[in-house]
């Protein structure tokens, strides 16, 4: 079975940071771009974020537009995609909005060593899947495919994005650049060090550059599965 089509989505500052070092969530996008992200979410079967993002940002990960939810339902889909996260430590709070907002299925891919305690904590709010040890993103994609996921949106954070990119498991990258600097080495960047399949000797294809108000969307094709336009 083919792995799902994997679309990575990320917003950065001009200097490549995806957050600042404060306790507050940093808003990088603007309203029109958030609406675009909502449309991308609505086009997917599942949305994945790392446990770090669940803890730090407490995102809802729902399709916000009532029209888009209704269109999904008219096509026989649930109103909002399945929510997916992965964890090695199992340190996830069942009252996080990942678990409480909306009623789509929620999957937690959990390292085998902490499976029991994670199931005890999250059993009522999610399906906790034994993902072995260490947890392999390729295995997660195969399992998602077996659950009927054909199109997956990965919304971060940096640790998760880096794993999908370095493993060659990404088909498309949506990178939004916000018009300011963060300039703080304590803040997280889009990705850290790694051996990426795209480097000076193998450049990725820029499929689109689009201005959306004061931000710019760069859409990179990272595999042959990514359509031309
Ligand atoms: N600007 C944007 O577009 C955007 C989007 C999303 C997030 N962010 C930012 O990104 C930051 C969070 O990024 P992050 O890199 O710290 O966290 P992350 O990528 O969201 O999550 C990392 C965590 O996911 C789990 N994980 C990742 N790979 C795993 C694997 N192979 N096996 C098992 N567990 C695995 C681990 O959880 P455990 O620790 O539980 O084991 C790990 O600590 C936040 O500051 C957030 O604001 C920005």
In this structure, is residue 112 part of a structural domain?
no
In this structure, is residue 144 part of a structural domain?
yes
In this structure, is residue 176 part of a structural domain?
yes
In this structure, is residue 175 part of a structural domain?
yes
Sequential pLDDT tens for the chain (229 residues): 789 999 999 999 999 999 999 988 899 999 999 999 999 999 999 999 999 999 999 999 999 999 999 999 999 999 999 999 999 999 999 999 999 999 999 999 999 999 999 999 999 999 999 999 999 999 999 999 999 999 999 999 999 999 999 999 999 999 999 999 999 999 999 998 999 999 999 999 999 999 999 999 999 999 999 987 6
Distance between CA atoms of residues 36 and 38, nearest Å? 5
Domain membership of residue 214 as a residue range? 5-83+94-99+136-221
Ligand 1 centroid to residue 56 C-alpha, Å: 9
In this structure, is residue 128 part of a structural domain?
no
Alpha helices in the chain (DSSP H): 31-42, 51-57, 66-74, 97-100, 115-122, 137-146, 158-166
Contact 61 CB / ligand 1 (< 6 Å)? no
Angle at 50 between CA 45 and CA 56, to 5 degrees: 120
Best CA proximity match to 172, nearest among 125, 225, 94: 225
In this structure, is residue 29 part of a structural domain?
yes
In this structure, is residue 111 part of a structural domain?
no
Structural domains of the chain, count: 1
In this structure, is residue 152 part of a structural domain?
yes
Best residue for ligand 1 mutational test, from 10, 93, 98, 156 (most atoms within 8 Å of Cβ): 156
Contact 222 CB / ligand 1 (< 6 Å)? no
Tell me the CATH number at 162: 3.40.430.10
Q: How far apart are the first and last CA of the chain?
A: 26
List Cβ neighbours of 91 (8 Å cut-off, separation of 6 or more): 51, 55
Ligand 1 centroid to residue 162 C-alpha, Å: 10
């Amino acid at each position: 079975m083919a792995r799902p089509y994997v679309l990575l989505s990320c917003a950065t500052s001009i200097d490549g940071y995806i957050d600042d070092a404060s306790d507050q969530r940093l808003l990088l996008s603007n309203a029109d771009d958030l609406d675009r992200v909502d449309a991308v979410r609505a086009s997917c079967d599942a949305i994945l974020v790392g446990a770090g993002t669940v803890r730090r940002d407490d995102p809802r990960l729902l399709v916000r537009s009532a029209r888009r939810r209704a269109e999904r339902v008219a096509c026989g889909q649930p109103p909002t995609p399945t929510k997916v996260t992965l964890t090695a430590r199992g340190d996830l709070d069942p009252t996080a909005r990942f678990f409480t907002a909306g009623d789509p299925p929620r999957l937690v891919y959990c390292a085998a060593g902490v499976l029991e305690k994670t199931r005890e904590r999250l059993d009522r709010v999610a399906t906790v899947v034994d993902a072995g040890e260490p947890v392999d993103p390729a295995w997660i994609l195969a399992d998602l495919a077996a659950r009927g996921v054909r199109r997956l949106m990965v919304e971060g954070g940096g640790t998760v994005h880096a794993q999908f990119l370095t493993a060659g498991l990404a088909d498309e990258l949506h990178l939004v650049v916000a018009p300011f600097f963060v300039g703080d080495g304590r803040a997280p960047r889009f990705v850290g060090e790694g051996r990426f399949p795209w480097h000076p000797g193998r450049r990725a294809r820029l499929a689109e550059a689009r201005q959306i108000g004061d931000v710019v969307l760069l859409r990179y094709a990272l595999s042959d599965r990514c359509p031309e336009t």
